[in-house]
Amino acid sequence: MNARRIFSSPKAISLLLGLLGILLSWWLAGVEARRFQSESRSNVVQQLGTVRAAVESSLNKRIYLTLGLRAFVSTHPDLNDQEFANFASALMAEGNGIRSVTLIQDNQISDIYPLQGNELAIGLNLLEMPEQRNDFLRAIETKQPWLSPPIRLVQGGEAFANRAPVYVKSDDAAENERYWGMVSILINKQELLDDIVDGLPDSLQLAIRARSSQDQSILYFYGDKSIETTEPLTLDVNLPTGNWQVMGVPTDGWQQRSPASSVIAWFGTIASIGLAALTFLLMRSNTHLRTARHTAENAADELSRKNEDLEAFVRTASHDLRAPLRHIDAFCQILAEDAADRLNENDQDCLNKIQRSSGVMSRLLASLLAFARTGCEGLAMETFDLKQMVHDVVSRLPAQDVDRVQVGNLPSIRGDRTLLPQVIQNLVENGLKYNNSEDASIQINATTSANEVTITVADNGIGMAENVIDRIFKPGVRAVSSADYSGSGFGLAICERIIKAHHGKIWVESKVGDGSTFHVSLPTV
């Protein structure tokens, strides 16, 4: 059997087309998975950056209070208990989470504010405490403040200790200054950590660590060491004293595949297998499908040459992969018209099923390709009149639906003039399609703030159940049964991808029987 006979065989053509479609689907899924992994790491870096900023802000504002205390003591080395209490009270009012303010004259704790609850610390010589000695000596040696990791206090509890050495003017003419001692601010550990992680998303597993000056070991005071086994991302914390790091990974670990990549892979595989099966059936059963076979061969050759280029694939696949389906449908119509008198009832039923299956697969393939194409090309950003764009979309509706859409005052927006109309058109058409009311209506309005424009598209349709709302923007998810309403479940997923490409947000509020209101938020700059 020569090559010409092999590639004119329905079985060979169908097998080649199915395999090629499966390979391309999984290749697209791989591209989506790599994009998802990159986006996940970027999100963690962004979240860690927020945590790092919170750490630096929370600590620095308290560290600077220590410097203020040092400046006061260096100019008032002989301050009495009441003077110290007055100043310490004012200092503590400037920052929450401060447990106590301490004077350490000649390396021995001489006064604490508030004294109540801290009496056990009075008289302690910190050079005689192994846990604190190294940090204490480092501050003396460098003449700089030093922030210690959480230490256990003799009066109970744990706290961060920020100490600063104090030097005063010397009475000895041979020396410019002499060492007076230390001032210290104890920062409540739990309050500081609560301040740092306030608003931390549940999707991030976080750890904060510091290096001990005593033995250079790593101390974890938020989270634990087990995070090191999860390939965390790490950011250094910029502090005037100390050496800290924040580490983070997604709570459920680094996911290798995104939900969208699985959808692309399996939907593409199912579509490719179904397309191959239909092609084989019809090419084998009727000689009129020779033209379709020739088109399939051309499509297979074309896709084979371009299977390493995703963008080129998206441009050609819409035509070349759907062409056989159009031929299937066309030849089904020819059979129905020319051979109607030779087809029994069972044959006619099979033919109708083939036509319906072809239509379903065509819509599924169109949705899959549209979903894959969205965001592949850069956005052509420009400023244009939103109201005019909406009127253009509404004017393309069937005549009986035009008056059902009410458009309010809409501002100018900045975005892609080609992609954004697809979002409005999808939301309007959904509002009309999923609507049992005789007085179906759509309301389109917008509100503007300093940083964003929020567009609302509200309908009085059938609405959605609460358990569907959280998943409605995922590829392939539908709010209603396909037996009641046609659709592929990709429309809202495409809308979300377009809006995310604009760095915006899209969400929905809905109740069963009360209609749905979609909100689209776009940045103004």
- Tell me the per-residue pLDDT of 288-306, one tens digit each, with 9 for 90 and over: 545 645 665 665 566 455 4
Q: Is residue 452 part of a domain?
A: yes
Q: What percentage of residues in the chain have a pLDDT greater than 90?
A: 21
CB 406, CB 443: distance < 8 Å: yes
| Positive or negative torsion for Cα 286, 292, 293, 296 | negative
Question: What's the first-to-final CA gap in the chain, in angstroms?
Answer: 65
Q: What percentage of residues in the chain have a pLDDT greater than 70?
A: 82
HEC sequence for 511-525: CCCCCEEEEEEEECC
Q: Is residue 16 part of a domain?
A: yes
pLDDT band at 458, cuts 50/70/90? very high
* Cβ-based neighbours of 331, under 8 Å, separated by 6 or more: 282, 286, 288, 289, 292
pLDDT band at 23, cuts 50/70/90? confident
When divided into structural domains, the chain yields a total of: 2
Q: Answer yes or no: is pLDDT of 351 > 90.
A: no
| Cα 462 to Cα 257, 402, 407, 483, 513, distances in angstroms | 34, 20, 21, 15, 5
The dihedrals phi and psi of 392, each to the nearest 5 degrees, come to -65, -40
Q: Is residue 481 part of a domain?
A: yes
* Cβ-based neighbours of 115, under 8 Å, separated by 6 or more: 122
CB 240, CB 60: distance < 8 Å: yes
Note the pLDDT of residue 5: 56
CATH number of the domain bearing residue 72: 3.30.450.350
Q: Is residue 365 part of a domain?
A: no
Q: Are strands 412-416 and 381-385 parallel, antiparallel or unpaired?
A: antiparallel
Query: What does the block give as tokens for 10?
Result: 């329905």
- Mark which of 250, 283, 307 sits at the end of a domain: 250
Q: Answer yes or no: is pLDDT of 465 > 50.
A: yes
CATH number of the domain bearing residue 519: 3.30.565.10
CB 244, CB 327: distance < 8 Å: no
* Cβ-based neighbours of 54, under 8 Å, separated by 6 or more: 195, 196, 197, 198
Beta-bridged to residue 168, according to DSSP, are 178
- The separation between CA 164 and the C-alpha centre of its own chain, rounded to angstroms, equals 42
Q: Is residue 5 part of a domain?
A: no
Residue 241 sits in the same domain as residue 384: no
Query: What does the block give as tokens for 465?
Result: 């159940």
Residue 188's H or E segment, with its range, is: strand 177-188
Note the pLDDT of residue 313: 55
Which one, of 469, 461, 468, lies nearest residue 519 by Cα? Answer: 469
Which residue range is the domain that position 458 belongs to? 379-523
Query: What does the block give as tokens for 419?
Result: 């992609």
Q: Residue 143: left if φ>0, alpha if ψ -120 to 50, beta else—which one?
A: left
- C-alpha angle 466-467-471 in degrees, rounded to nearest 5: 110
Note the pLDDT of residue 368: 53
- Mark which of 250, 267, 282 sits at the end of a domain: 250
Note the pLDDT of residue 62: 80
Q: Answer yes or no: is pLDDT of 170 > 80.
A: no
Residue 406's H or E segment, with its range, is: strand 405-407
* Lowest pLDDT segment from 36-45, 368-377, 410-419: 368-377
Single-letter amino acid, residue 439? D
pLDDT band at 259, cuts 50/70/90? confident
**How much of the chain is helix, strand and coil, in % rounded to 5?**
50, 20, 30
Q: Is residue 507 part of a domain?
A: yes
- Mark which of 196, 228, 250 sits at the end of a domain: 250
Q: Is residue 275 part of a domain?
A: no
Q: Answer yes or no: is pLDDT of 95 > 50.
A: yes
Residue 89 sits in the same domain as residue 229: yes
pLDDT band at 173, cuts 50/70/90? low
Q: Which residue has the tokens 């005789």?
A: 438
Q: Is residue 194 part of a domain?
A: yes
- The separation between CA 464 and the C-alpha centre of its own chain, rounded to angstroms, equals 24
pLDDT band at 307, cuts 50/70/90? very low
* Lowest pLDDT segment from 76-85, 103-112, 356-365, 476-485: 356-365
- Arithmetic mean of pLDDT, 474-485: 74
Q: Residue 144: left if φ>0, alpha if ψ -120 to 50, beta else—which one?
A: beta
Note the pLDDT of residue 258: 75
pLDDT, tens digit, for every residue of 114-147?
999 888 989 999 888 887 888 788 888 888 888 8
CB-count exposure of residue 208 (10 Å: 0-12, 13-18, 19+) = buried
